[in-house]
Structure 1
Amino acid sequence: MTVDPYAEGADIAGGAASPRFLYALNPLAKLAAPLPAMLLLVFVRDLATPLAFIALAYVTLLIGMRFTRTIALTLFVALPVAVAIVGFGLAVWTDPANVSHDVVVLQIGGWTLYGGAVQVGLATALRLVAIVALALIAGTTTTGPDLARSLVQQLRVPYRVGYTAIAAFRFVPRFRHELDLIRQAHRIRGAHGGRGPFAAIARGAGYVVPLLAGAIRHAERVALAMDARAFGAHPTRTERHTVPFRARDVVFILIFWAVSAALFVLV
């Protein structure tokens, strides 16, 4: 049985119906919209601006994408925990001579953690999380093949590069599928059973050879398929899946840029 990991829900940006608007946008639009804000956030030093952009990213994601358990855990657990851990770590590493000594947060022996250091660490952590949250707008609603197709169709990236990227994206889930099959086969045969770290190492070592063999077979089949289709023989190729750049993509970019500029000015 041939398994195509991208068969279900493929070509979302190409016009397939979706209840959330982010899936209907061109991948380049979802990258271009938050990119200026992500670049400017590198130079921000206050707390309010990154908080405002985190709120903007969360609102965009809540409205525009379908939520899964992984995404919910990332937004509401992983990112807040990252702010706390990174903020505290950076506060500890901040040179006390360069911060305000008005507020003492923690004192252990001769070491003192000042409020100014905590503010610096928290501001840096919020900047990093704001950049990550803005990147999730494109990252969570775009497939790798659609991004490669849009680069070829809109930015005129050579299709040799784009199709190679698509082949690489398709290889990863296929590799995962073959690993699942190998695990099931080993489980049926009772190979490397037992519990504990040594049994886990033995099981992992037993997966290496069949995975490499499967990867080589798949690479040979992809190479033969490309040769059979005269890959690289002509300067351009026709596209089965189109990822158009529509007026709504321009509107989304302009609205996002306008809101970002307003936040930088007002906050």
Structure 2
Amino acid sequence: MTESAPLLAVQAPDARFDPYAQRIEASPVRFLYALNPLAKLAAPLPAMIVLIFVRDAATPAAFLLLAYAVLLVGARFTRVLAGVLLLALPLGALAIGFGFSLWTDASQVDDTPVFWQIGGWTLYQGALAIGFATGLRLAAIVALTLIAGLSTTGPDLVRASVQHLRVPYRIGYTALAAFRFVPRFGHELDVIRQAHRVRGSHGGRGPFTAVARWFGYVVPLMAGAIRHAERVALAMDSRAFGAYPDRTERHLVPYRVRDTVFIVLFWAASAAVLWLFFPWGLG
């Protein structure tokens, strides 16, 4: 009897190599992960459009608080979320507000009280109001985009667009492949660094050594990228990619009643904020 060939074990995707391999389990409290990505984009979209045109500070501040409340309740409190909400957004709003205060035309606000004066240069309180209103507006828009950005993966957004918005799967799957290229490149770069460290290549310190070290990463990284692109192309060709107008989707991203409820509730909250602070001084 001839010995049968051993079966090849198929290894499941590792989250270290592919961050999209494992899905975050949704809980009743952290509800954002259970929503359709399109619902999380459609809910804050009207508020984001309105915030482009408002010029007061109260309206963007209210939407900023609304976005914070949704994120703190509906998303897991991770280091990324804490860093963005507690450091990046407040510091960014302060920096943008102070910068726009300096750029504001002083002749338009010279009837307001003086806040700071150095020689012949004067900073008026009206310039500060305009600058920090702009900073709050941009921070509110960014916070509203984070509702979908921090609780949605790129592949799920692509799948939802293909399944519900009728985006051609040729475009969607191309974007899906691009999303998966980035973590693959990160893994290959880590492997190349470890290989160079084992061989003692480009050791030492200093700016020239760092430049030489990075140039040593370019060629093997490009070679790995080309090999990976060829494997992806062969896999897509073997599955008759583009041969039929539709394809069967393995991972479904359903649109449920909860998604409509979230959109309606968020639109109602947005309308309440706009009605409370109307008129906003459009300009």
Per the normalisation by structure 1, the TM-score is: 0.95
The residue that corresponds to 1:193 in the other structure is: 203
Contact 1:101 1:115 in 2 (8 A): no
For residues 84 and 136 of structure 1, the distance between their equivalents in structure 2, rounded to whole angstroms, comes to 19
Q: How does 1:18-97 map to 2 (within 5 A)?
A: 18=27, 20-97=30-107
2:114 to 94, 104, 127: 104
> Highest Rg: 1 or 2?
2
CA distance in 2, matches of 1:126, 1:184: 44
Give the alignment partner of residue 9 of structure 1, picking from 22, 25, 28: 22
- 1:150 lines up with 2:163 in the alignment: no
1:7: Cα distance to partner? Answer: 5.3
**Residue equivalent to 1:119:** 129
Letter in 2 for 1:9: Q
Deviations 1:152-210 (A, max 9, x none): 00000000001111100001001000000001111111111111211111111110000
Deviation at 1:6, TM superposition (A): 4.0
Unaligned runs of 5+ in 2: 1-10, 278-283
- The alignment status of 1:169 with 2:182, answered yes or no, reads no
**Offset of 1:99 from its aligned partner?**
1.5
The SS at the match of 2:18 is coil
Say which SS state the counterpart of residue 63 (structure 1) adopts. helix
Residues in 2 aligned to 1:79 and 1:7: alpha-carbon distance in whole angstroms: 26
Aligned-CA RMSD value: 1.3
Instruction: Give ranges in structure 1 of 5+ residues lacking alignment.
Output: none
Whichever residue aligns with residue 22 of structure 2, its letter is: G
SS at match of 1:105: strand
Partner of 2:5: none
* Aligned counterpart, 2:216: 206
* 3-state SS of paired residue (2:167): coil
* Counterpart in the other structure of 1:136: 146
Q: Deviations over 1:64-110 (max 9, x none)?
A: 00121122111111111111111111000100111253311111110
The question of whether the paired residues in 2 share the 8 Å contact of 1:87 and 1:123 is answered with yes
TM-score (norm 2): 0.90
Comparing 216-225 with 61-70, greater Cα deviation is found at: 61-70
1:21-62 deviation digits (Å, cap 9, x = unpaired): 000000000000000000000111111100000000000000
Q: Does 1:228 align with 2:238?
A: yes
| Percent identical | 67
Deviation at 1:20, TM superposition (A): 1.0
Q: 1:17 to 1:50 in 2, by over 3 A?
A: closer
Alignment coverage as a number of residue pairs = 263
**Aligned equivalents of 2:168 and 2:78: distance in 1?**
35
In 2, Cα distance between equivalents of 1:42 and 1:6: 34
Task: Indicate if the aligned counterparts of 2:20 and 2:155 stay in contact, CA closer than 8 A.
Answer: no
Q: Distance in 2 between matches of 1:102 and 1:165?
A: 51
Question: Matches of 1:195 and 1:70 in 2, distance apart?
Answer: 31
Separation in structure 2 between the aligned mates of residue 194 and residue 36 of structure 1, nearest angstrom: 54
Secondary structure of the residue aligned to 1:55 is helix
Alpha-carbon displacement from aligned partner over 1:115-153 (angstroms, at most 9, x marks no partner): 000000000111000000000000010000000000000
4+ residue segments displaced more than 3 Å? 1-4, 16-19
Match of 2:261 in 1: 251
Q: 2:228 aligns with which of 218, 234, 238?
A: 218
